[in-house]
């Protein structure tokens, strides 16, 4: 959680400095993805949204690679093709992020169905925000998960705000998002998403259920988006400036810190030291990433790369266009 927060702060700043076009931070929601990741096994596959970078950080995906993706530089593992933060790492159980909301939810169910068809024990984990539960993909995912009892955990991260739209607009007359599961016959839980240990406990339970082939579980993680939706957003235009100051549900980092101090396994000094270490790690990674270029300066993916990878084998019409482009 602390690494993700420091990473966000540095990348947000890098965006403001013009080193990339766009950034999305996690402030307030760090516990959800960081704690959930700890309940998974290698081979399990997350189908994330753009606000689950904690899944990557908590499983040791190199910060430098994440930054190279954000900078779209010559070392970008996605060759400059994707908007910043739309990471992909099959090796780290992290499905390519779309940017079209909710599409990944039904794909997670399909992936889980495939695992079951192959008598595999790997599970899939779907992620979605409160606002995009209104998309048809969400409802298709719940129908398919219910009908085929797919080994999938379906997470809803309710951070209260879909850009400027309060979650009630998507929730409608339903008391909670978790209640959406009941009509589909899918067991549903609602958890304090700012409590790292609670998220971990719920994740363990749902993951175990899926892995033992007892079927899908729907989890609503109640949290709060402290920051802006993205680097292109200004929340003061639609919610009180002071709202985020009160940290609804509390800062997940401070809550875990206080808990560990009370348990006698952590201290204020140790925490300060950890913050400094984390910042140092992130800054070192950033320096290395910037050696490979940033969006508008230094090394870039080649224009030739733009034409590659549309198909396994380049068809004649694309080959002609690449020649026209002079690459």
Chain residues binding other proteins by CB under 8 A are 45, 47, 77-79, 81-82, 86, 88-91, 95-96, 98, 100, 103, 105-118, 124, 136-137, 140-141, 143-144, 147, 309-312, 315-317
Looking at beta carbons only, is 113 or 295 nearer to other proteins? 113
Looking at beta carbons only, is 118 or 241 nearer to other proteins? 118
Q: Read off φ and ψ for residue 141, nearest 5 degrees.
A: -60, -45
Looking at beta carbons only, is 67 or 253 nearer to other proteins? 67
Looking at beta carbons only, is 122 or 190 nearer to other proteins? 122
CB of 112 to other proteins, least distance (A): 8
CB of 113 to other proteins, least distance (A): 6
Handedness of CA 236, 70, 39, 153 (dihedral sign): positive
Question: Do the bridges between strand 161-162 and strand 124-129 make them parallel or antiparallel, or are there none, so unpaired?
Answer: unpaired
CB of 119 to other proteins, least distance (A): 9
**Residue burial 187-207, b: 16+ Cβ < 10 Å; e: rest:** bbebbbbbbbebbbebbebbb
**3-class state of residue 324 by DSSP:** helix
Tally Cβ neighbours within 10 Å of residue 216.
Answer: 31
CB of 108 to other proteins, least distance (A): 6
Looking at beta carbons only, is 31 or 101 nearer to other proteins? 101
Token pair belonging to 319: 């080959």
Alpha helix ranges (H) inside 17-135: 30-37, 54-57, 63-71, 103-117
CB of 186 to other proteins, least distance (A): 14
């Amino acid at each position: 959680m602390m690494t993700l927060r420091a990473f966000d702060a540095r990348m947000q700043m890098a965006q403001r400095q013009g080193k990339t076009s766009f950034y999305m931070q996690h402030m307030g929601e760090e516990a959800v993805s960081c704690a959930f990741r700890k309940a998974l096994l290698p081979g399990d596959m997350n189908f994330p949204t753009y606000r689950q970078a904690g899944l990557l950080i908590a499983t040791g995906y190199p910060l430098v690679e994440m930054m190279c993706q954000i900078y779209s530089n010559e070392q970008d593992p996605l060759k400059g093709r994707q908007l910043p933060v739309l990471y992909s790492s099959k090796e780290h159980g992290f499905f390519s992020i779309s940017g079209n909301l909710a599409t990944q939810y039904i794909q997670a169910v399909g992936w889980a169905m495939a695992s079951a068809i192959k008598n595999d024990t790997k599970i899939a984990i779907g992620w979605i925000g409160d606002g995009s539960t209104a998309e048809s993909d969400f409802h298709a995912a719940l129908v398919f998960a219910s009908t085929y009892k797919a080994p999938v955990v379906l997470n809803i991260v309710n951070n209260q705000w879909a850009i400027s739209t309060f979650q009630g607009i998507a929730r409608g007359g339903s008391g909670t998002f978790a209640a959406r599961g009941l009509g589909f016959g899918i067991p549903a839980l609602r958890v304090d998403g700012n409590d790292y240990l609670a998220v971990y406990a719920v994740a363990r339970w749902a993951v175990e259920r899926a892995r033992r082939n007892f079927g899908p579980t729907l989890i609503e993680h109640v949290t709060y988006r402290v920051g802006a939706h993205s680097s292109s957003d200004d929340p003061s235009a639609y919610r009180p400036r002071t709202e985020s100051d009160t940290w609804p549900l509390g800062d997940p980092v401070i809550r875990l810190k206080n808990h560990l101090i009370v348990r006698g396994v952590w201290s204020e000094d140790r925490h300060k030291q950890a913050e400094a270490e984390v910042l140092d790690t992130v800054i070192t990674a950033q320096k290395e990433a910037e050696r490979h270029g940033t969006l508008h300066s230094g090394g870039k993916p080649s224009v030739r790369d733009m034409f590659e990878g549309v198909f396994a084998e380049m068809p004649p019409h694309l080959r002609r266009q690449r020649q026209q482009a002079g690459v």
